[in-house]
Amino acid sequence: MADKPYLLTDDEVITFIIRGYHIVEADFPEGFNASIYEELDGLNLLQNNLGDAILDRVPKLYQVYDHPKVRGALVSLLGEDFQMNSHRHCHVNPPGTRSQSWHQDGVNQRHHQIRTVLAMYYPQDVTPDLGPTALMPGTHFRNAPTDRMATYANFREQVVLNVKAGTVAITHYDIWHAATANRGNRTRYMLKFLFSRGSEPKAPSWNHDSEETKGLMRRFSFERPCACSQSDHYKERGLRMEMWNHLIGKANS
């Protein structure tokens, strides 16, 4: 069970619903992130793609996803009985690589609940020249064919994850994202793990205050994570409420 102080607030859950991601800055012991980076460097992952076996080869990664802040966020979004998916991958972005195309990892199922999230751990500081991950806020509500998305370049409201070592970015499975070009002089690693809901929510699994939430709910109607037409924003409002009602158990009562 997650410690209550590490669970998300209503405001943070609403932000996740609107924007599609939450950033956790975990406070690991000194040298912990550097030791994982060194282990990854020693595996020669460009020539030896370990795929799902990365967790067996670097078991310290269990400590990343067991960190109270990370676990608290996962419980808040997926419930106490969330499960680690068997699929995981170490993304290697060495110097000289080009930017990735925008893509969604999900299979574009048209539900609007939080059933699976990506949890992306960075064992090194990610500076602008090191090929950080780019996210497009709000796109977890948008379905686009991969070949169509490959024609897109930079977006005005894109968020580039220039983060500290030890950061875990938790995103909705359907959010648009891409690795950017590594113009630096060292490899940027990102460990991608998937976590899924174990059961349907019956009540909020975060630090919920029904009175405080009354004022926050206005955000669903007026906040826009990126520029869009009035028609699209109107549709988003309904999808946000659908996601919220599912999380608080209202959709299953």
What does the pLDDT look like over 125-172, one tens digit per residue?
999 999 999 999 998 888 776 777 776 777 888 999 999 999 999 999
Residue 208 lies in a domain: no
Residue 113 lies in a domain: yes
Residue 163 lies in a domain: yes
Give residue 110's pLDDT band: very low, low, confident or very high (50, 70, 90): low
What does the pLDDT look like over 64-99, one tens digit per residue?
999 999 999 999 999 999 999 999 999 999 999 998
What is the number of domains present in the chain? 1
Report pLDDT for 253: 52
The CA-based dihedral angle spanning residues 83, 105, 114, 134, taken in that order and rounded to the nearest 10 degrees? 110
Burial level of 159, CB count in 10 A (0-12/13-18/19+)?
Answer: buried
pLDDT higher for 34 or 155?
Answer: 34
CATH number for the domain harbouring residue 191: 2.60.120.620
What is the domain extent for residue 117? 4-196
For CA atoms 245, 249, 251, 253, the dihedral sign is negative
